[in-house]
Amino acid sequence: MSLEHQFQQEVDNEVITEIPAKVILFDDDWHTFDEVIEQLIKAIKCDIYTAEQLTMEVHTKGQAKVYEGDFEEALEVSKILEEIDLRTEIYL
């Protein structure tokens, strides 16, 4: 197999597996702001300011899009947020 053919297969496989998705985080009445902020920093690897802004949006609007990108990463973000029983949904 030529190097060019192998590269094309790798590109084709990557295109197939990159499914766009977004993670929505929903408000609840039992987590503190600090708990949500800490978990957002862990899940999406953002700074504290971004986590605070997202937490405030969740609180005031009832939900917020906290991640948009590859489906595989969206699954990981959702899993981390749900470690402390935050409610999320993944949309394709």
Beta bridge mates, 21: 69
pLDDT for 41 equals: 98
- pTM equals 0.81
- The H or E element spanning position 21 is strand 20-26
Q: How confident is the model at residue 71 (pLDDT cuts 50, 70, 90)?
A: very high
pLDDT for 90 equals: 98
For the stretch 37-65, pLDDT in tens is 999 999 999 999 999 999 999 999 999 99
Q: How confident is the model at residue 80 (pLDDT cuts 50, 70, 90)?
A: very high
The pair of three-digit structure tokens given for residue 39, joined into one six-digit string:
């978990």
Domain architecture of the chain: domains with CATH: 19-91 (3.30.1390.10)
Distance between CA atoms of 18 and 51, rounded to whole angstroms?
A: 26
